[in-house]
């Protein structure tokens, strides 16, 4: 047993639901107790879908336990087929049904329904949501995809987008346009909006674009082996990655690389002088493996940040993230325990966090700005507006999203210049947040330096701030003050000093200057 | 209630079995832990249970909530012997981190019930170990046994045998209410001269709550059937009353208790006159848009019958179907008697068949869960999502206008939006 409050990923049958809900003409019969239908609201509320997920739950109750549950499953299966008339069905068990061992696959097969019925075996006590999605899509592909004639024109499949995917909807649009510019058709997008009939003609493409390794890699590997379809290894998030992707695609397609950059604004924006202040901003990156790997490259090579921490929660991508981290001279944090992540962030005290919904809340607690780069996300990250992560418009979107939470250059400069101004002092609050302006002097009665604030001499490990140094520290702008305090304390500690004077503060500043 | 027609009380109930689109009892933890300030709810379950709590708790999950899930792993399923040790270890870790915890609930889930993990044994053992600082209790919030608010029922019923035995005559008010509402209720009872009054669940472990043969109790929530039975087993007596929704419901609820405590009509009038007038006018204003419109309830919380009573008798609505996950006759009879005959009364659910009925009648307002709300809106039906009715202060006089407002808002919104969704 493991005590858990927050989970980055749901159970694997939620991953299967993400595939089923993404597709059309497919129905999922899930052997599950009453209550597991809660997962429907992830799709109807967070993603704001206007239809129910195509999932029938057996919703067995205590009184059904025993031989009855098998019958319940068969009835649910038959009713679902009769009502929805899908082209194919998937059947499986949730965590509780896994324990009662009714074998949904075997029972469904015995019913001899007139459509393909694909059995899913998702080990709920070992694996998680992303595995569930990947495995489900792999099983569907394996059951339905057949060798077919290649399309006359060069075409590819877009593999991996699902329901509840972070920006999957717009990434598909962006890539479709990008490929179209190169003269490449999209044969099938799957699982998003694909029907079982579409899955059957996956083999007509010349190659696959693996958009999200988390949800599509197993199917791509199978198609490579069984249908002879090579697949792309570069995920086109970021300008550099998009250029590499175009080169890779051009090779697979036997066409000249072509990238229309007239709408690309990100490189100029990062080059413009106002972005100089982004240089060396210390950033911590956490999320799913794919988005973390791509974000790290953008952060360092395209934004000029210093990446101080990297990690992911899905252990399927641990190897890739570890490799990347060692390239950056870091040790990757592979964990699904948000308390570990919080501890790492608190320890590193970055100036920006790129993470998930969870890191956003950690950032809020620690007073560190955060931008969301990966699932799990909440309803506000399924926006109405067009906001891909992939391709060139994706690069524009990412620039805006990451920079927005930071204090921008000119603003930072002005705040620094006027930090002792009667309207801009610390207690005044941000004028655009609706808090009333508090003139200096009315707020804290006295920041006047008194004597030395010493009463913690007991612990030789602690370092004490002399009052003058404390006052001097307060002149450092609030958004870097935490780092200044930490650096100075570490500096003093390393030198065995127990008191920090104004001089220590400035020595430390000089020491850490870059 | 004399002289009234029987209303819906003797109407046949439609019972269907099939897929049920409802929450399990674990969801109750979300509001119970806010109410019981020194309690921790430890679910013994799967990743699914943790995911459910997270989805239902929304952003609250980040505020150091006093609940969590001990997620069963492969090794826990292999052999049963060490499961109890595992629980002990997790509880040890938890209590050493959270020394403010005085009451610990081990909450059963579907997986723990199916593998027959004996949580009551664990609770007894841990209670002995951590006494007197921490009391450890157990109840089941599993989907196979409980639906949504029934989790609160199971929790309170588990506390009843543990309550002190008292011999004095007292009123026990049963059901978790938002603090503001509870204070209003206690103030009204106090003004009526009724006392002493205690509340189950109590805010803190030390708050004196007892039960005995001279205890009479009033329910503020309709889903507390097990708790009612458990209290009766301790010799306490239930005061039947409609539930305190709206002006009429609140007055009838207070009246039933006042009669029990021999409060004179004059006192009752004096105390209730002003808040009644306030509630009446607030409801009248808020319910203008509701008058003569029809309402369809999908089953969710067991609040459906009392709320249908409020909407039909106080807001001028017409009920077409009132679905409830369970109907505890003993508790909702007074409300049923006040609803005019006509609506379909359904208990349990086959969601696809019920959706067919909802589409056929196309009520002006459909009350349903979040899994159905947007899909039905997309079909052109106006919906009110039901879970809000459990979290929002809606009971008693001062909230009567707000309660009508919750139902009125979706209809007003539909009238306001000029660009239709496609």
ipTM entry:
0.93
- pLDDT over threshold 70, residue A421: no
Cβ contact, residue pair A5, B143, below 8 Å: no
pLDDT the model gives residue A408: 62
> In chain B, positions 301-320, which contact chain A (CB-CB < 8 Å)?
none
- pLDDT value of residue A438: 56
Angstroms from A130 CA to nearest CA on chain B: 13
Q: Please indicate if any CB of chain A lies within 8 Å of the CB of B381.
A: no
Lowest mean pLDDT across A85-94, B163-172, B384-393:
B384-393
3-state class of B70 per DSSP? Answer: strand
Residue A501 pLDDT exceeds 80: yes
Are B371 and A37 an interchain contact pair (Cβ–Cβ within 8 Å)?
Answer: yes
Q: Indicate the burial class of A259 (C-beta count within 10 angstroms; 0-12, 13-18, 19 or more).
A: middle
Instruction: Look at residue A496 in the predicted model and tell me its pLDDT.
Output: 87
C-beta neighbour count of B157 within 10 angstroms? 20
Question: Does B74 lie at the interface with A, CB-CB under 8 angstroms?
Answer: yes
Is residue B133 less than 8 Å (CB to CB) from chain A?
A: no
User: How many angstroms separate the Cα of A509 from the Cα of each of A490, A496, A506?
Assistant: 12, 17, 5
A13 touches chain B (CB under 8 A): yes
Find the CB nearest B73 among A37, A60, A125.
Answer: A125
pLDDT tens digit sequence for B191-234: 999 989 999 999 999 988 999 999 999 999 999 999 999 999 99
Query: Could A3 and B94 be called an inter-chain contact, meaning their C-beta atoms sit closer than 8 Å?
Result: yes
Q: Using an 8 Å Cβ cutoff, are B184 and B398 in contact? A: yes
Is the pLDDT at A427 greater than 90? The verdict is no
pLDDT at residue B364 is higher than 50: yes
Band of residue A457 on the pLDDT scale cut at 50, 70, 90: very low
Region A366-390: what's the mean pLDDT?
93
pLDDT (0 to 100) of residue A68:
84
Closest C-alpha among A303, A260, A263, A259 to residue A281 = A303
Instruction: Show which of residues 37-56 on chain B sit within 8 Å of chain A, judged by CB atoms.
Output: 42, 44, 46-48, 50-52, 54-56
Q: A205-208: which pairs have CB atoms within 8 A and are 24 or more residues apart?
A: A205/A150, A205/A151, A205/A155, A205/A156, A205/A157, A205/A229, A206/A150, A206/A151, A206/A154, A206/A155, A206/A156, A206/A252, A206/A253, A207/A156, A207/A157, A207/A231, A207/A232, A207/A249, A207/A252, A207/A253, A208/A156, A208/A157, A208/A159, A208/A232
pLDDT level of residue A450 (50, 70, 90 thresholds): very low
Residue A365: its chain B contacts at CB < 8 A?
62
Residue B117: its chain A contacts at CB < 8 A? none
Would you state the pLDDT for residue A364? 85
Reported confidence tier of residue B295, pLDDT bands at 50, 70, 90? very high
* Nearest-neighbour CA in chain A from B291: distance (Å): 28
* pLDDT band per the 50, 70, 90 thresholds, residue B74: confident
pLDDT at A177 over 50: yes
Which residues on neighbouring strands pair with residue B367, listed in sequence order?
B297, B384
Reported as a pLDDT band with limits 50, 70 and 90, residue A101 is confident
This prediction's pTM: 0.90
DSSP structural state of residue A408: P
How many other CB atoms are there within 10 angstroms of residue B193's CB atom? 13
Residues of B in contact with A45 (CB under 8 A): 370, 374
Reported as a pLDDT band with limits 50, 70 and 90, residue A397 is: very high
Q: Which of residues 260-289 of A touch B (CB under 8 A)?
A: none
Contact B86 A41 (CB under 8 A): no
A171 counts as catalytic = no
What Å distances lie between residue A441 and A304, A446, A460, B127, CA to CA?
Answer: 40, 8, 36, 55
Q: Name residues 73-112 of chain A within 8 A of B (Cβ).
A: 76, 79, 83, 94-96, 99-100
> What's the pLDDT at A445?
41
Contact A69, A34 (CB under 8 A): no
Q: Does B76 touch chain A (CB under 8 A)?
A: yes
d(CA A170, CA A167): 6
Asked if B374 and A5 come within 8 Å (Cβ–Cβ), the reply is no
pLDDT of residue A435 exceeding 70: no
* Residue contact B371–A10, C-beta within 8 A: no
Q: How confident is the model at residue A486 (pLDDT cuts 50, 70, 90)?
A: confident
Distance spanning both ends of chain B, measured CA to CA: 49
Mutate to test the interface with B, among A10, A38, A40, A82 (most CBs of B within 10 A): A38
User: Of A274, A336, A337, A340, which is the active-site residue?
Assistant: A274
Supply the pLDDT for residue A484: 83
**In chain B, what residues touch A358 (CB-CB under 8 Å)?**
62
Given pLDDT bands bounded at 50, 70 and 90, which one contains residue B153? Answer: very high
Per-residue model confidence as pLDDT tens digits over A216-258: 999 999 999 999 999 999 999 999 999 999 999 999 999 999 9
**To the nearest whole number, what is the mean pLDDT of chain A?**
90
Predicted pLDDT of residue B421: 66
Q: What is the mean pLDDT of residues A18-27?
A: 98
Which residue is associated with the tokens 């933890």?
B29
**Whole-number pLDDT of residue B62:** 63
Instruction: Give the B window 90-109 contacts with A, CB below 8 Å.
Output: 90, 93-94
Question: How close B410 comes to chain A (CA, Å)?
Answer: 16
Evaluate if residue B147 carries a pLDDT over 70: yes
User: pLDDT digit string (tens) for B240-267?
Assistant: 999 999 999 999 999 999 999 999 999 9
From B11, B109, B17, select the one nearest B299 (Cα to Cα).
Answer: B17
Would you call B369 an interface residue with chain A, using a CB distance cutoff of 8 Å?
A: yes
- Tell if the CB–CB gap between B47 and A95 is shorter than 8 Å: yes
* pLDDT score, position B63: 65
Q: What is the pLDDT of residue B379?
A: 96
Given an 8 Å threshold on Cβ–Cβ distance, is B72 in contact with A125? yes
């Amino acid at each position: 047993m493991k005590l858990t409050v927050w989970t980055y990923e749901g159970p694997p049958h939620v991953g299967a639901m993400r595939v089923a809900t993404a597709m059309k003409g497919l129905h999922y019969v899930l052997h599950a107790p009453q209550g597991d239908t809660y997962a429907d609201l992830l799709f109807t509320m967070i993603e704001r879908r206007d239809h129910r997920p195509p999932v029938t739950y057996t919703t067995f109750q205590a009184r059904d336990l025993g031989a009855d549950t098998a019958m319940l499953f068969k009835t649910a299966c038959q009713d679902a087929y009769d009502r929805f008339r899908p082209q194919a069905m998937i059947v499986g068990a949730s965590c509780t049904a896994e324990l009662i061992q009714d074998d949904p696959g075997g029972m469904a097969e015995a019913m001899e329904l007139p459509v393909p019925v694909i059995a899913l075996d998702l080990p709920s006590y070992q694996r998680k949501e992303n595995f569930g999605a990947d495995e489900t899509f792999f099983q569907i592909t394996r059951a339905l995809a057949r060798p077919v004639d290649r399309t006359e024109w060069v075409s590819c499949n877009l593999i991996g987008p699902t329901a509840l995917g972070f920006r999957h909807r717009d990434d598909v649009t962006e890539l479709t346009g990008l490929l179209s510019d190169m003269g490449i058709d999209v044969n099938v997008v799957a699982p998003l909006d694909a029907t079982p009939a579409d899955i059957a003609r996956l083999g007509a493409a010349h190659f696959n674009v693996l958009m999200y390794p988390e949800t599509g890699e197993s199917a791509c590997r199978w198609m490579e082996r069984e249908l002879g379809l090579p697949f792309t290894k570069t995920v086109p998030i970021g300008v550099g990655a998009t250029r590499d992707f175009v080169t890779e695609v051009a090779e697979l397609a036997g066409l000249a690389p072509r990238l229309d950059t007239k709408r690309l604004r990100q490189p100029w924006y990062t080059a413009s002088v106002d972005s100089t202040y982004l240089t060396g901003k210390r950033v911590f990156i956490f999320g799913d493996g794919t988005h973390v790997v791509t974000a790290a490259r953008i952060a360092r090579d395209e934004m000029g940040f210093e990446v101080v921490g990297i990690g992911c929660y899905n252990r399927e991508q641990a190897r890739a993230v570890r490799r990347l981290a060692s390239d950056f001279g870091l040790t990757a944090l592979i964990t699904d325990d948000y308390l570990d992540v919080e501890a790492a962030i608190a320890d590193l005290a970055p100036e920006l966090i790129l993470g998930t919904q969870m890191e956003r809340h950690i950032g809020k607690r620690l007073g560190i700005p955060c931008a969301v780069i990966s699932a799990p996300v909440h309803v506000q990250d399924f926006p109405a507006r067009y906001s891909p992560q992939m391709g060139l418009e994706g690069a524009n979107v990412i620039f805006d999203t990451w920079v927005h939470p930071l204090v921008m250059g000119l603003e930072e400069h002005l705040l620094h210049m006027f930090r002792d101004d009667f309207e801009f002092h610390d207690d005044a609050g941000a004028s655009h947040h609706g808090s009333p302006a508090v003139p200096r002097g009315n707020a804290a009665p006295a920041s006047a330096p008194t004597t030395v604030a010493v009463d913690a001499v007991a612990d030789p490990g602690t370092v004490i701030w002399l009052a003058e140094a404390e006052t001097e520290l307060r002149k450092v702008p609030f958004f870097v003050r935490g780092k200044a305090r930490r650096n100075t304390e570490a500096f003093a500690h390393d030198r065995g000093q127990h008191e920090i004077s104004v001089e220590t503060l400035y020595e430390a500043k000089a020491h850490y200057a870059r | 209630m004399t002289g009234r027609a029987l209303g819906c009380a003797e109407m046949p109930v439609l019972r269907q079995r099939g897929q049920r689109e409802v929450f399990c009892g674990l969801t109750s933890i979300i509001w119970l832990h806010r109410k019981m300030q020194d309690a921790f709810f430890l679910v013994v379950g799967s990743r699914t249970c943790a995911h459910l709590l997270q989805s239902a708790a929304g952003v609250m999950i980040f505020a150091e909530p006093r609940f969590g899930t001990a997620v069963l792993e492969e090794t826990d399923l292999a052999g049963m012997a060490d499961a109890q040790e595992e629980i002990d270890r997790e509880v040890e870790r938890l209590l050493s981190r959270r020394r403010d915890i005085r009451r610990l609930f081990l909450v059963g889930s579907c997986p723990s019930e199916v593998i027959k993990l004996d949580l009551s044994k664990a609770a007894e053992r841990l209670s002995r170990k951590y006494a007197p600082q921490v009391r450890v209790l157990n109840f089941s919030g599993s989907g196979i046994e409980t639906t949504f608010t029934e989790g609160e029922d199971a929790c309170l019923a588990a506390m009843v045998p543990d309550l002190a035995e008292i011999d004095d005559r007292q009123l026990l008010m049963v059901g978790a209410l938002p603090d503001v509402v509870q204070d209003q209720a206690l103030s009204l009872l106090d003004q009526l001269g009724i006392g002493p009054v205690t509340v189950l669940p109590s805010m803190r472990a030390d708050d004196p709550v007892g039960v005995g043969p001279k205890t009479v109790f009033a329910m503020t929530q309709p889903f507390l059937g097990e708790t009612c039975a458990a209290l009766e087993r301790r010799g306490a007596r239930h005061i039947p009353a409609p539930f305190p929704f709206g002006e009429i419901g609140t007055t009838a609820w207070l009246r039933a208790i006042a009669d029990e405590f021999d409060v004179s009509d004059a006192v009752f009038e004096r105390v209730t006159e002003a808040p009644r007038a306030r509630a009446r006018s607030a409801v009248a204003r808020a319910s203008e848009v509701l008058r003569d419109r029809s309402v369809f309830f999908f089953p969710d919380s067991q609040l459906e019958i009392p709320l249908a009573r409020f909407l039909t008798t106080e807001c001028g609505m017409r009920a077409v179907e009132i679905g409830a996950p369970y109907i505890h006759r003993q508790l909702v009879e007074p409300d049923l008697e006040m609803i005019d005959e006509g609506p379909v009364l359904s208990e349990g659910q086959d969601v696809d068949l019920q959706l067919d009925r909802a589409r056929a009648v196309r009520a002006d307002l459909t009350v349903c869960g979040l899994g159905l709300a947007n899909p039905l809106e997309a079909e052109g039906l106006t919906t009110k999502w039901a879970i809000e009715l459990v979290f929002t202060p809606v009971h008693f006089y001062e909230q009567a206008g707000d309660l009508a407002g919750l139902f009125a808002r979706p209809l007003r919104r539909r009238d306001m939006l000029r660009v239709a969704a496609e």
